[in-house]
Every structure is written in C-alpha cells, then in structure tokens.
C-alpha cells in the first residue's frame, strides 16, 4: 500500500489568488520539481483541509482542477495519486479542450467535425 504524502503548502491569505489556485500551484510545482513523483498518494481532502484550516470543498475544487489538468487521478476509495507526467502534455491539452467544448454544449459529433475542418 502507498504511503500518503504530507504536502507542504503555505497559503497566503493576503493574496488575490484564490486559495484553491494556490493549492493547485503548490502541488503542480512539487510534481514538476519531482518532490511528488508519479504514484504518490495525496492526502484525502478532509485531511488536507484540516491541515490547512480551510473548507473541504476548497481542497476538493483544487483536486478536481489538478485532475482536469492531468496532474493527479482519483482512484475511488483507494485515494488520489500523482499521475505519470511523461508524455501527458498532449493529453492534458485534449482534456482541457474536451472540457471546454462540453461546457459550451457541443456534441462529440459537432466537435469532431470542427476538428476535422480545422486540421491542417
């Protein structure tokens, strides 16, 4: 069983950057620096919220954003883990694109047709 990482996140209450964004920035920086290698289990949302003295929903929002960006993945009851970052830049952009198209109400068929027309 994987050991859960203890995240060293320092929030700036005076910052204009939202707290969830500060968490995203700290975690993604640690992943990029190799401090949080692939396969590392992140603390549960409640545990991190308690550690940072913030609302659970704020941590959950940060984790959702990090998952959409391809940095982490939820594995149900097993927890949330750092994803392997080798070769995921393209996948991260595809996830961002798909999320945007979905939020615009575009169907898969219409989106594929738009991509076909735009492809050089």
Tens digit of pLDDT for each residue in 10-63?
999 999 999 999 999 999 999 988 899 999 999 999 999 999 999 999 999 999
Rounded Cα gap, residues 37 and 10, in angstroms: 20
Nearest CA among 89, 1, 91 for reference residue 39:
1
DSSP 11: -
Per-residue pLDDT at 91: 73
Query: Average per-residue pLDDT in the chain?
Result: 91
Rounded Cα gap, residues 77 and 11, in angstroms: 28
Rounded Cα gap, residues 115 and 108, in angstroms: 10
């Amino acid at each position: 069983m994987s050991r859960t990482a203890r995240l060293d996140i320092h929030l700036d209450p005076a910052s204009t950057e939202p707290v969830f964004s500060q968490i995203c920035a700290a975690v993604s920086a640690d992943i990029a620096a190799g401090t949080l290698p692939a396969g590392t289990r992140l603390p549960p949302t409640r545990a991190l919220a308690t550690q940072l003295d913030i609302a659970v929903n704020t941590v959950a929002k940060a984790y959702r954003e990090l998952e959409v960006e391809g940095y982490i993945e939820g594995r149900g009851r097993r927890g949330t883990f750092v994803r392997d970052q080798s070769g995921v830049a393209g996948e991260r952009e595809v996830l961002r694109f798909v999320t945007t198209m979905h939020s615009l109400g575009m169907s898969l068929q219409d989106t594929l047709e738009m991509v076909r027309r735009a492809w050089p």
